[in-house]
Amino acid sequence: MTTYQVGYFVGSLSTASINRTLAKALIRLAPDDLAFTEIAIGDLPLYNRDLDDAYPPAALALKDAIAASDAVLFVTPEYNRSIPGALKNAIDWASRPWGQNSFDHIPAGVIGASIGAIGTAVAQQSLRAVLSFCNARQMTSPEAYIHFSPETFAEDGEVLVDSTREFLTNYMSEFRDHIERVLTVLPRT
């Protein structure tokens, strides 16, 4: 059995992040042939192209972590109807230096949780536009806009509502199939 290495981004720096809880739930519900490693974004300085010839260690570690991944999964909140700045900053670092875009052809998934009713839909559209420019191979269906409540998710990532558990299990199964399809025609080198 091939195991696919999934590097996942949590778009929130908060220690109480509901998106980190969602990430835990996704890992619990994922098929057995997916292995997960978080790609940390909290220690990155702000992107500055003056450093393109001398990437700081945190940015090099970021690019190494993506290179070691078969696929990436973005689990993100919505900030002011867009991508949280910390996550956009990480994407900017990973996309450069010019010609060394870490996301080129990588299988990618996008999901997010919000306390608001639309469940990060606007942020996800914004993120999808960015990932499209970065030439990531996104799973476009199913979409997943998660309205977070403590009645649905326990802190350890257990999903307490059957319909939500089934939905997220299917999302991760589809993501696994998407990874396999993309890597069949675009193997990671």
Would you tell me which residues interact with ligand FNR (CB under 6 A)?
12, 14, 17-19, 77-81, 114-116
| Min dist. Cβ of residue 112 to ligand FNR (A) | 8
User: Considering beta carbons, is residue 18 or 106 the nearer one to ligand FNR?
Assistant: 18
| Min dist. Cβ of residue 41 to ligand FNR (A) | 13
**C-alpha dihedral (62, 1, 104, 177), degrees to nearest 10:** -120
At CA 127, angle to CA 122 and CA 131, rounded to 5? Answer: 150
| Min dist. Cβ of residue 80 to ligand FNR (A) | 5
Residues in contact with 9: Cβ distance below 8 Å, sequence separation at least 6, in sequence order: 38, 39, 41, 72, 73, 74, 75, 76, 87, 90
**Amino acid present at 103:** F
User: Considering beta carbons, is residue 102 or 114 the nearer one to ligand FNR?
Assistant: 114
What is the token pair recorded at 91? Answer: 């994407």
Residue nearest to ligand FNR according to CB distances in the complex:
116
User: Considering beta carbons, is residue 70 or 78 the nearer one to ligand FNR?
Assistant: 78
Helices (H), the chain: 18-29, 57-67, 85-95, 121-133, 162-185
| Min dist. Cβ of residue 76 to ligand FNR (A) | 8
User: Considering beta carbons, is residue 4 or 8 the nearer one to ligand FNR?
Assistant: 8
